[in-house]
Amino acid sequence: MSDKLTPLDAGFLEVEDSDSHASLAIGALVIAEGPVPTDREFLERLSSRIRFIPHGTDCLHTVPVDLAAPTWTADPNFDPARHVMRIAVPSPGRLQDVAATVAWIMSERLDRDRPLWQCWLIEGLEADRWAVLTKAHHSLVDGVSGARLFDVLFDSPPESEPVGDNTTSTSGTASEKSASLYSTFIGVSTAALGAPVRVSRQLLRRAAGFAHLLGDVLTPSRRTTLIGPIGSQRRYATANVRMQDVKAICSTFDVTVNDVALACVTGALRSLLLHRNEDPDGHSVRCLVPVSVRTPGGDVSPHNEVSLLLPFLPVDVPDPVDRLQVIHERLSRYKRGGESRSGHFVTTLAQYVPFVSSAWFVRLAARVPQQSIVTVVTDIPGPTRKCRLMGREIVSIYPFVPIAVRLRLGFALLSYSGQFAFGITADYDSVPEIDLLPTFLESELRILVSAQESSVREPDDTTESGP
């Protein structure tokens, strides 16, 4: 295992260093029922399994003025007790109360003098429930490698699988956590400095996709209140729908799970814009959709291995079914055009130049207000069957995606045992209406389910009314 961070891994650190309001940790809220384990029980579980997390006992070693990439070094004073915290939510312990606690915890940056992860035991939930919030820096894990945290916690290591049918993945695995916009800029700025001939040939093959991706990055979205400066505090909300309903929609309209998820987000953002008396223009919401580029069946590397798509979400389309079809067509066109691989290829170019060049470019780019990307929608691999945590049944799992670089909203998706969960992250000051978004998301899915059921009944009605 390499102890050196890749340019993409280090890019998350550089963006965080350049933006005092960014905290680039990803997370998952695991809700279980039954008695809350004691601190001793929980520490014993972590102590016996933490070695399975790559660099779980390592801390960062950086080089002055970024002359070389950061490396992972063993923490000589590692103590799992420093990484486990306990907190209680206010009575009555509703999910909204837990979400407020999650937002507070995830707003705080991790201590870079320690291994970059935490586990929070959250007690006081209604219906005799409790929760664990896992928190890890994006430079340490991404969506696929971060799923190993489930292996550490759960009683028997579950097999994590993609949210849907891998339709936003070029390799057959799930899409990953949000990719940094400025990691793309790293490759753009350094490509001209020279690379091996094999890289140049790949660049020529991907020229069309690369040009389209670069155009997306540099083309600003129409101005709305969904993009702009953000503070350091966050809001968090959750929504939950049935995976059975999502799959029925996919089957009837010949679309993918990711298409349905994006359609729900699109409908929710359209409703939010209308709620704010703003025009839902077709070029007002460009979305960052991370794409896995891992090799199918290969070892899960701890490094971030991700590309991206940057489609406009059709918030201007009033009909939910029409929105779903437009999203399906746009994503299919992006994948045919090669954009889904081009983003990853561009970021790898930074490996062929001195680290100091890419690091300082990311720092510079992070200080320039980007005007293109408005939100991020990413899916996380989740267990497909019921799991238990220290003998207690896990009821639900909700993901958390960080926001930065003027993105005021982010959406993470995770499927677990027949559930399809949304985790919504928002800037505290600019999105006070976050509690409306779960309602908007669930309402959008209900409309699609109703359209799906009507579409299924229509052939039967036609048959019965025939001669």
The residue-averaged pLDDT of 352-362 equals 67
State percent of the chain over pLDDT 70. 73
Catalytic positions: 138
pLDDT tens sequence across 190-206? 443 444 444 455 555 55
What pLDDT does 50 receive? 86
Residue 91 has pLDDT above 80, yes or no: yes
pLDDT tens sequence across 443-466? 999 999 999 999 887 665 555 544
Task: Quote the mean pLDDT of the chain.
Answer: 82
Residue 260 has pLDDT above 80, yes or no: yes
Between residues 232 and 338, the one the model is more confident about = 232
The three state secondary structure string of the chain is: CCCECCHHHHHHHHHHHHCCCCCCEEEEEEEEECCCCCHHHHHHHHHHHHHHCCCCCEEEECCHHHCCCCEEEECCCCCHHHHEEEEECCCCCCHHHHHHHHHHHHHCCCCCCCCCEEEEEEEEECCCEEEEEEEEECCCCCHHHHCHHHHHHCCCCCCEECCCCCCCCCCCCCCCCCCCHHHHHHHHHHHHHCCCHHHHHHHHHCHHHHHHHHHHHHCCCCCCCCECCCCCCEEEEEEEEEHHHHHHHHHHHCCCHHHHHHHHHHHHHHHHHHHCCCCCCCCCCEEEEEEECCCCCCCCCCCCCEEEECCECCCCCCCHHHHHHHHHHHHHHHHHCCHHHHHHHHHHHHHHCCHHHHHHHHHHHHCCCCCCEEEEEEEECEECCCCEECCEEEEEEEEECCCCCCECEEEEEEEECCEEEEEEEEECCCCCCCCHHHHHHHHHHHHHHHHHHHHHHHHHHHHHCCC
pTM for this model (two decimals) = 0.84
pLDDT tens sequence across 115-144? 999 999 999 999 999 999 999 999 888 755
| Domain residue ranges in the chain | 5-150, 200-455
What pLDDT does 54 receive? 84
CATH number for the segment(s) 5-150:
3.30.559.10
What pLDDT does 371 receive? 84
Which CATH superfamily groups domain 200-455?
Nonribosomal peptide synthetase, condensation domain (3.30.559.30)
